[in-house]
Copies of this chain bind each other. A is one copy, B any other.
Amino acid sequence: MASLPPRCLSFFVLFLFALLINPAISLRTSVIKLPGSDGSADTFCSSWRLAVETNNAGTWNVIPSMCVDSFAEYLNGDQYGSDYDVIADYALAFAKTVQISGDGKDVWIFDIDETLLTNIDYYRAHGYGSEAFESNSFNEWVVQGTAPAFDASLRLYNALKKLGFTIILLTGRDEDQRSCTETNLRDAGYSDWERLLLRGPEDQGKSATKYKSEQRSKLIEKGFKIHGNTGDQWSDLLGFAVADRSFKVPNPMYYIP
């Protein structure tokens, strides 16, 4: 630093000051516009969350660091559960219109993480998605098998069983996590799924959209009719062999392509 001319040093100090006072400078998702002088962080973060949930944002890595506080408020408050509740109600209303054949071929697919089970305890300890995803620590969390159910998802799951749907679980978790996943699901209150489909060795490296579409396609080939599909990622729902109706539950914390 001693070799910097005084003018450079002034600019450097100004830059450090700007870093301190301007939350937008630490914004890590580069394509989005920084909030203007008239826009509050909360307003911007709410818009960003909507852009993510509607798939307008496309690929993204971490949440804007300026949004950590407002997302923490959302995820720990009533709104998050209410969002699942209203979606479960729409899913169930649709499910009731489906003619169940009775041959066990009428399927509803559920994703697991952030759909049936909440990993909020993990993400609370990792900046609510503001830290880059770190698979080692997440896998340690998964193996513990202590993720609770979303109330609305458990309610929907049980109501669909009662209506006669065959439940198939389709997750991006690996085959070697089958046992801890099954135990976690049962402990959280889920039971009687027909199949639990996890990524095998041949699925490594595939995008979730491709892997899940292929799995759905195989189910259709075996005569299953996929009426409904619930997931927190658009990659759970889009691609090919899609369900008659797809239901996107919220996830402002991470993105899986």
Contacts and interface: CB of A to CB of B under 8 A. Distances in A.
Interface of A: 31-33, 35, 38-40, 43-44, 46-48, 50-51, 53-58, 78-79, 82-83, 85-87, 89-91, 93-94, 245, 247-248, 250
Tallying the copies of this chain within the complex gives 2
Main secondary structure of the interface of A (DSSP, over half): helix
Contacts of A57: 90
B43 A89 contact: no
Contacts of A247: 56
24 contacts: A31-B93, A33-B85, A33-B86, A38-B78, A39-B78, A40-B78, A43-B78, A43-B79, A46-B79, A46-B83, A47-B79, A47-B85, A48-B86, A50-B53, A50-B86, A50-B250, A51-B83, A51-B90, A53-B53, A53-B54, A54-B248, A56-B90, A56-B91, A56-B248
Contacts of A33: 85-86, 89
A43 B55 CA distance: 22
A245 B250 CA distance: 21
Given A31-B89, A51-B90, A53-B53, A44 B248 contact: no
Given A32-B89, A47-B83, A55-B248, 17 more contacts: A32-B86, A32-B90, A33-B86, A35-B82, A39-B78, A43-B79, A44-B82, A47-B79, A47-B82, A47-B86, A50-B86, A51-B87, A53-B53, A53-B54, A54-B248, A56-B86, A58-B94
